[in-house]
């Protein structure tokens, strides 16, 4: 059940990079709807993606620094020694699983579900969910708080300023259709 800061989710790079998905995940965490976790490896991948997508090195470092500052306990430590003992279809994803195991996470939030076979994760007491499914579950269990978090997120959208419906449209365009539709039904 996702309903408190005691529910721990490791956020994979592919749900951190898109700004609107990251914002929604982090605002929900800010409202104590779950506890986010990530690793140096995840941030290194995110940094590389930002550079490939044309984000300046300074801006990329600022974004990472802001996340660390906002959630100082989110960085998983001492997980690296587990990586070599793990086996996933793409060996480059083993660091995500290692971080999840080390921090006793409940779930890995990723849009690459196929890279984390359920039978392998089950041996470690873990599951995966897409960002859309994860956020929809949170809303379902915490409608009032989720709407409050969404509305505050919208207030901070200043470059450019966006209203609730414009943000909902951006969520839909970034594979958060269920999340946007659910929030839309509540506002």
Confidence of residue 56 (pLDDT cuts 50, 70, 90): very high
Residue-range domain boundaries for the chain: 8-134
Predicted local confidence at residue 158, as pLDDT: 80
Confidence of residue 101 (pLDDT cuts 50, 70, 90): very high
> Span 40-51, mean pLDDT?
95
CATH architecture of 8-134: 3-Layer(aba) Sandwich (3.40)
DSSP sequence for 156-187 = T-BTTB--HHHHHHHHHHTT-HHHHHHHHHH-
Averaged pLDDT score across all residues of the chain: 93
N- to C-terminal Cα separation, the chain: 24
- Looking up tokens 């506002």, which residue turns up? 187
Confidence of residue 47 (pLDDT cuts 50, 70, 90): very high
Q: What's the farthest any 2 CA atoms get from each other in the chain? A: 47
Predicted local confidence at residue 5, as pLDDT: 57
Which pLDDT tens digit goes with each residue over 124-183?
Answer: 999 999 999 999 999 999 999 999 999 999 998 887 888 999 999 999 999 999 999 999
Predicted local confidence at residue 2, as pLDDT: 47
């Amino acid at each position: 059940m996702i309903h408190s800061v005691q529910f721990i989710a490791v956020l994979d790079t592919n749900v951190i990079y898109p700004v609107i998905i990251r914002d929604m995940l982090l605002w929900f965490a800010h409202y104590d709807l779950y506890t986010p976790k990530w690793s140096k490896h995840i941030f290194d991948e995110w940094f590389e993606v930002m550079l490939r997508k044309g984000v300046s090195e300074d801006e990329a470092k600022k974004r990472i620094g802001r996340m660390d500052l906002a959630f100082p306990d989110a960085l998983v430590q001492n997980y690296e020694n587990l990586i070599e003992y793990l086996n996933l279809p793409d060996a480059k994803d083993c660091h995500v699983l290692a971080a999840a195991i080390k921090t006793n996470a409940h779930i890995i939030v990723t849009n690459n579900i196929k890279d984390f076979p359920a039978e392998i994760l089950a041996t470690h007491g873990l599951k995966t969910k897409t960002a859309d499914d994860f956020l929809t579950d949170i809303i379902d269990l915490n409608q009032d708080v989720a709407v409050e978090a969404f509305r505050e997120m919208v207030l901070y959208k200043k470059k450019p300023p966006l209203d609730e419906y414009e943000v909902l449209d951006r969520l839909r365009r970034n594979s958060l259709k269920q999340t946007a539709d659910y929030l839309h039904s509540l506002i």
